[in-house]
Chains A and B, each alone.
Chain A
Amino acid sequence: MRYIIVGTGVAGIAAIEAIRSVDKKGEMIMLGDDPHGFYSRPGLAYYLTGELHDKALFPKTREDYARLGFKYHKARVTRINRAEKTVLLDGRELLSYDKLLIATGAFATPLKVPGSALQGVLKLDHLDDARQILKLARRGKTAVVVGGGITALELTEGLLARGMNVHYLLRGDRYWGNVLDEHESRIVEKRLQEEGVTLHFHSELIEVIGRAGKVGGVRLLNGRTLKCDILAYAIGIKPRVELAREADLALDRGILVNEFLQTNDPDIYAAGDVAQVYDPLSGRSVLDSLWSPAREQGRAAGLNMAGQRISYIKGAPFNVTRLAGLTTTIIGAVGHGHDEDILGIARGDSETWRELPDASVAQGGFDMNHVRILVGEKTLIGAVVMGDQTLSTPLQKIISDKMDISCIHDKLLARNARVADVIVEYWSKYVASA
């Protein structure tokens, strides 16, 4: 049996580990076009801030790889021939497969405005991008950042940590408005401003202005111009589906796979950022674009390729990040409340926090804490936890298991409710009875 894995990201590595856990002898070949192989792409943000060295981004040792017993070729797969069951490497060498995994990830959506090719227009997708940013970031010089989500904020923080003056352009009237509520957006914005970031609301980039082939400034839709030395952007990502498209596999935004991570060709699987996975619970096919789902999907794909039958069941949406220094967990549905099931919103801030009498101590010591909980009739629908993470694990479980919270419903929605206490009390009772 020969397994071929295309992509050296977390989905690919998880698949290799999973295959080896059940098939001790099968031949595994991993193919990838990133010269650095497997490293933590989320960790790039912390390389930019200076919290770690680039050498620390590599999770696996040579011995770890040796133990798994697979071959690695640094190569780009340029074609899949389904009839012959082969892949073509760099347009030259052919390799045959019995089972193939496409784990080619996603790439940063390129900037399209005039001037996008100037030196100093930067994205944060790969290790080489991060190195390029650090090469061009200069203390005292000016950077403009565009993009509305987490990566744009990470670029802002990274450039700031390198001593640059940072202007952050936001299209709307607040930061990450489709996920955070206004209060939460303002928390993040205020912290950025306190660090010296200049925020520009209702601002859309229409042109990068060049000076001798380099970035000299930007022009905005409202007519304003800003001088700058760097323009960094993070405006979305796109699954790398070209291989699958040429091979005529079923596609939507990503490669369509069933709950076993199988494409419409039963010998070809897809996992991670490139895959759009059928969710048997909701009946929809979803793109996730996050590290943990990529790992879980890679694992399930690997096990299925090796002959098991494991379905990948997506839990409640779950994302952990750090916003302006605050560890933040986002669970379930928290966006603009189109959800009729939401009866009310419970909020808690630092004042209602206390030392929690628990056997486990989560990360604390933040200068501010915040929680927002979307309360339904019998269940909690979603939550945002910023700062102290003690409530994260209980809330994640309560939300994803749809635990019955009728008994605390009124307490949570009462005026000046001590929201954190109510959840902790409920949770302690649950743990004691379990």
Chain B
Amino acid sequence: MYGGLALSFLNIFKSDAARRTALFAGHVVPDPSRCVQCGICTYNCPIGIDVRAYAWRGEAIKHNECLTCGECVARCPRGVLRFERTDLFTAGAG
């Protein structure tokens, strides 16, 4: 059952639109006041980062192995997570 959702309105998160914005230099940053500790982010992180624990502490996910793949941002049911760019001043320079 897991992974194969029967509800089409939950599959929209897998759309490219959510991903397009994802792959750039930056961090995932949580808004802890929106988080209900459900664990969907941690459950879906391809490299097993405990994203939820960062959201509890209100810390940016500055984890060496984070791919900024956007999986956690796209799947969080509360919009807790967002990207914050660190390449703001270099983007567009090349």
Contacts and interface: CB of A to CB of B under 8 A. Distances in A.
Which range contains the number of B residues in contact with the other chain?
Answer: 35 or more
A364 B33 CA distance: 19
Interface stretch (A48-56, A170-178, A219-227, A242-250): A48-56
B47 interface: no
A396 to B, nearest CB: 8
B15 to A, nearest CB: 5
A160 B82 contact: no
A327 interface: yes
Contacts of B10: 49, 51, 161, 325
A146 B22 CA distance: 39
A80 to B, nearest CB: 29
Residue picked from A163, A329, A361, A363, most chain B C-beta under 10 Å: A363
A161 B56 contact: no
Nearest to B2: A50
Interface string A357-393: 0011111111100000000000000000000010011
Contacts of A160: 6-7
B31 A325 contact: no
A365 B13 contact: yes
Contacts of B77: 46, 51, 322, 327
Contacts of A49: 5, 7, 10
B43 A53 contact: yes
A365 B84 contact: no
Give the secondary structure class of B's interface: mixed
A363 B7 contact: no
A360 B5 contact: no
Given A292-B33, A364-B21, A50 B9 contact: no
Residue picked from A57, A59, A321, A322, most chain B C-beta under 10 Å: A59
A184 interface: no
Contact of B38 (A46, A157, A318): A46
Nearest to B11: A325
Interface string B3-45: 1111111101101111101100000010101111111101100
Contacts of A72: none
Contacts of A327: 77-79
Contacts of A50: 1-6
Interface of B: 1-10, 12-13, 15-19, 21-22, 29, 31, 33-40, 42-43, 52-53, 56, 73-79, 81-85, 88
14 contacts: A42-B37, A43-B37, A50-B4, A51-B75, A52-B38, A59-B53, A161-B10, A318-B33, A320-B78, A329-B34, A359-B84, A361-B73, A366-B12, A367-B9
